[in-house]
Structure 1
Amino acid sequence: MVGSDGSAADSAPAGSWAPKTIIVSHAFTDFDGFAAMVAAQLLDPTATLVLPRSLGRDLRHFLALHKDRFVAVDRGDVDPAAVERVVIVDVRRASRLRESLPEALLERVVAADAGLDVE
């Protein structure tokens, strides 16, 4: 969940969230990345938004004000073994995913919106 300071909340024990599909964006996610995540979730309402620990300052403030409108979890709260599909948005280079996505999950990517270059 989104925490009171706009960051991904630490309410769930590490690795306790077991979504089949996750939606991620780059480290220091900004409004472009978050909007793309929300839009992707409209296409698959069962997917879970997974936020990196570092968010852009403006987005962090926005989420602090509107935390009750979004369900998003910290990447550390997701059980990677449960994830079957990964949707990546607003990312061109895989290196920008280091904080958002465990490397082992790169092989489960089913969609990327910006021509992901897996260096």
Structure 2
Amino acid sequence: MFPDAAALAAGVEEALGGPRARRRALANAMAAIADGSLVLDAGRTVAQATADLEALPGIGPWTSHYVALRVLGATDILLTGDVAVRAGARALGIPDAPRDLVAATVAAAPWRSYLMMHLWRAASPNRGGADAHS
């Protein structure tokens, strides 16, 4: 029922808001999926998928790793540059500078994706963050 990649590639620039470059990057990624030059499935490693995604114009590490998290079910993704991840770390008393955050979460590997979702939630007081019960 959901539109296939070719349909998304054809209509995404007109259907979505946001910066033109972002819409173009999404359209290009959908076109690559549609023509088979980009394969995103559970048979791919995170390294393979992120490298292929980042080879596309406008796709950087945050996006490629987010796709690996959501599409491949990668369990050890930690988006240290994500503002909400860092805010959640601060709210929980975890170092929030990217290198310090990585160092502080080494023991959570290979499950840092789950930790990251907890950090996202902690960043929002209205959704269970540190200030939700104050």
Q: TM-score range by the shorter chain?
A: under 0.3
Q: Between the two structures, name the one with larger relative contact order (CA 8 Å, sep ≥ 6).
A: 1
**TM-score normalised according to structure 2 size:** 0.25
**TM-score normalised according to structure 1 size:** 0.27
Bigger-Rg structure (1/2):
2
